Amino acid sequence: MDVRTLQSINLARILKEPGTAEAEGIIKETIGAGEELLTLQGDADWSVSVTSAGDEFWLSGEVHGTVMMECRRCLKPTPQPVNAYFQHLLEFHPEVGELTLVQNEDDEDVYHFGDPDLDLSFFLAQAFALAMPFTALCDESCKGLCPVCGADLNVVDCGHVQADAVPKALSDLGKFLDEV
């Protein structure tokens, strides 16, 4: 079987009769999240299943991959593993053009869709982005960038930063405050 790079699942069968539909595939290079495109290292894998429950459908799925983030100190591209899981309630409304988020009578979030060939790219990207860490560090001991000239202090010693300059000033301040 060819590996699917299309991010969709066909629900035509379970729109006619109760049941479950499943799909899986891979995402190559980038994954879209809002305006932003996140860069992947290698392929991300995803799988989803959709189960009919009366007029509604339960979508559940997962996506696993490695995203490239900037180290928060030196800005170097830094791979971060991401494991995302999601569940959503869906309703089929043939008149709906784009996927629409609606609140039902029970105050639950329900996505209305109109195309039996459900586009999953929004759900996959949203779950992936939410599961990402807020920041990344290339290494616990990353020295970061020089605040004066911007040099990567992991690579060069530009001579601008004395390693103990800030801690010494702070400890002097601490002593001063103790004495006051």
Residue among 77 and 174 whose Cβ is closer to Zn ion: 77
Closest distance of CB 101 from Zn ion, Å: 38
φ, ψ of residue 159 in degrees (nearest 5): 90, 0
Residue among 73 and 88 whose Cβ is closer to Zn ion: 73
Question: Which residues ranging from 137 to 166 are in contact with Zn ion (CB under 5 A)?
Answer: 138, 142, 146, 148-149, 151, 158, 160
Q: Cα separation of 149 and 13, whole Å?
A: 62
Residue among 76 and 88 whose Cβ is closer to Zn ion: 76
Nearest to 130 by CA among 34, 44, 42: 34
- In sequence order, the β-bridge partners of residue 90 are 57, 111
Closest distance of CB 178 from Zn ion, Å: 33
Half-sphere exposure of 69 (CA within 13 A, CB side): 18
Quick note: the x/- pattern for Zn ion over 54-83, rule CB under 5 A, is: -----------------x-xx-x-------
Q: Residue 31 burial by CB count (10 A; 0-12/13-18/19+): exposed, middle or buried? A: buried
Residue among 66 and 121 whose Cβ is closer to Zn ion: 66
Interface with Zn ion by CB under 5 A: which residues?
71, 73-74, 76, 138, 142, 146, 148-149, 151, 158, 160
